[in-house]
């Protein structure tokens, strides 16, 4: 396993009551880093929150107070955001919007499907039962984030759902590509039996109109899910996309795969398996001509890891390095006692400690994003859980240098 140099960790944002997660960032023309991430409306991962934006002018050491890009309402939320700066200076944030509905009919007696009431959220379980994906959208800014357009819907048809992971990518021609994952016949619907595909949406008019452009990877046997695509442009112009995978019916996470395009994303090779376990990934070209991949690592000892490739196509887990270890409550770097379990489903704090080896919802760490600064420093951002009585997700950054 390789080693990285000059490693320092820095907090981006933590909320005293809400989970903060799903960060994506880019280095913009001014040299600053712009990051977008999700603020949940609850102290657990729920996907009915709002998109925030923070900036760093010192290479990820300190960050501005977050600004709201698209606020939540009493009936809608948004999450899974990504950021892109166009060549003309326009900023674009892509995200998904969900319908967040409270129960509309008063129950006649005790509902068998409801969990205990809580003072903080009431019968919060109905937020899940009546929540629905309303669509993929983009918002644009012409003044570096001071103001934003109204949400512009993204046509993801024939998909019924288009989940975002990272920001859009602008081709040399000026066209935009957006990586999504979803299904044609249904999403999280019982009995559908269709696996998840990854695909590209494309816009030729600056993000005002979109169309399904190509399929990155899909298994017609409905055994393998291909999700959360990254995008890397090689020096020769080819595009490479790395994909998270799961196998059905177990849903177990498997190694990453990658696909390659020689025509700006219109056609793709068949998926090729790597020997890398982890997800999801982001990949960037480095100033010295090499390529960098970082990804979440959701098994002990958890955290975020990375790899460097000379050509962007040859990757080997034996060269893996650790960017951050931990992030799951129940065990800390200082070996303090682990956090107590907080179970929203019970409506109260649960007894006992979080199982480090099988942490349930607390395995949701990582989702890293990465940039390189002008001086060669790498900045990786990701979310992890706090070591508190009621653990909360928050976002942080790690700065490091790569050995030659």
pLDDT in tens, 350-372: 445 677 888 888 899 999 999 99
What is the residue-wise DSSP string for 41-82? SSSS--S--EEEEEEESSSSSS-PPPEEEE---SSEEEEEEE
pLDDT in tens, 266-323: 999 999 999 999 999 999 999 999 999 999 999 999 999 999 999 999 999 999 999 9
Distance, in Å, from the CA atom of 354 to the CA atom of 342, rounded to the nearest integer, reads 9
Alpha helices in 89-180 (DSSP H): 125-129
Model confidence pLDDT, tens digit, residues 78-128: 999 999 999 999 999 999 999 877 666 666 665 555 554 556 555 555 555
Is residue 341 over pLDDT 60?
no
Tell me: pLDDT of 345 over 70: no
Per-residue pLDDT band for 151 (boundaries 50, 70, 90) equals: very high
Please name which of 364, 373, 365, 381 lies closest in space to residue 402, comparing C-alpha atoms. 373
Helix (H) or strand (E) holding 396: strand 393-401
Backbone angles phi, psi at 301, to 5 degrees: -90, 15
- Helices (H), strands (E): how many in the chain? 1, 27
pLDDT at residue 266, rounded to an integer: 97
Q: Which residue has the tokens 């940039």?
A: 371
Question: What does residue 304 show for φ and ψ, rounded to 5 degrees?
Answer: -130, 135
Provide the token pair at 358: 């099988």
Residue 132 has pLDDT above 90, yes or no: no
Please report the pLDDT score of residue 120 as a whole number.
59
User: Phi/psi of residue 362, each to 5°?
Assistant: -80, 0
State pLDDT tens for residues 326-340.
999 876 443 333 443
Alpha-carbon distance of 7 to 134, in angstroms, equals 41
Give me the count of residues in the chain. 404
Model confidence pTM above 0.85: yes
Domain 5-340+360-401 - what CATH class? Answer: mainly beta
User: Among 232, 220, 216, 213, which residue's Cα sits nearest to residue 269?
Assistant: 216
> Is 70 exceeded by the pLDDT of residue 133?
yes
Count the Cβ atoms, other than its own, within 10 Å of residue 268. Answer: 22
């Amino acid at each position: 396993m390789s080693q990285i140099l000059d490693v320092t960790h820095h907090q981006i944002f933590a909320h005293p009551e809400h989970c903060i997660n799903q960060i994506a960032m880019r280095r913009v023309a001014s040299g600053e880093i712009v990051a977008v991430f999700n603020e949940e409306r609850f102290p657990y991962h729920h996907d009915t929150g709002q998109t925030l934006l923070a900036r760093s002018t010192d290479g990820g050491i300190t960050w501005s107070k977050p600004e709201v890009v698209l606020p939540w309402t009493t009936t809608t939320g948004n999450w899974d955001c990504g950021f892109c700066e166009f060549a003309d200076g326009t900023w674009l944030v892509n995200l998904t919007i969900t319908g967040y509905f409270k129960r509309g009919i008063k129950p006649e007696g005790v509902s068998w499907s409801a969990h205990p009431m809580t003072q903080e959220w009431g019968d919060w379980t109905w937020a899940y039962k009546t929540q629905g994906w309303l669509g993929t959208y983009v918002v644009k800014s012409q003044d570096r984030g001071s103001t934003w357009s109204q949400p512009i819907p993204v046509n993801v048809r024939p998909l019924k759902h288009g989940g975002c992971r990272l920001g859009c990518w602008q081709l040399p021609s000026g066209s935009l590509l957006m990586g999504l994952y979803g299904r044609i016949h249904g999403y999280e619907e019982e009995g559908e039996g269709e696996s998840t595909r990854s695909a590209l949406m494309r816009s030729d008019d600056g993000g005002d109109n979109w169309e399904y452009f190509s399929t990155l990877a899909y298994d017609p046997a409905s055994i393998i899910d291909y999700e959360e695509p990254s995008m890397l442009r090689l020096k020769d112009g080819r595009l490479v996309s790395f994909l998270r995978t799961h196998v059905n019916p177990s849903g177990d996470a498997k190694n990453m795969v990658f696909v390659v395009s020689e025509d700006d994303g219109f056609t793709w090779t068949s998926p090729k398996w790597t020997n890398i376990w982890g997800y999801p990934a982001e990949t960037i070209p480095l100033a010295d001509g090499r390529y960098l991949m970082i990804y979440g690592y959701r098994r002990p000892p958890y955290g975020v890891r990375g790899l460097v490739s000379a050509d962007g196509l040859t990757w080997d887990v034996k060269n893996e390095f650790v960017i951050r270890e931990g992030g799951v409550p129940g065990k800390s770097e200082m070996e303090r006692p682990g956090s107590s379990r907080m179970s929203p489903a019970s409506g109260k704090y649960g007894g006992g400690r979080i199982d480090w080896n099988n942490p349930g919802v607390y395995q949701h760490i990582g989702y890293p994003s990465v940039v390189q600064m002008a001086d060669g420093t790498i900045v990786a951002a990701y979310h992890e859980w706090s070591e508190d009585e009621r653990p909360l997700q928050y976002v942080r950054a790690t700065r490091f240098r790569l050995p030659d």
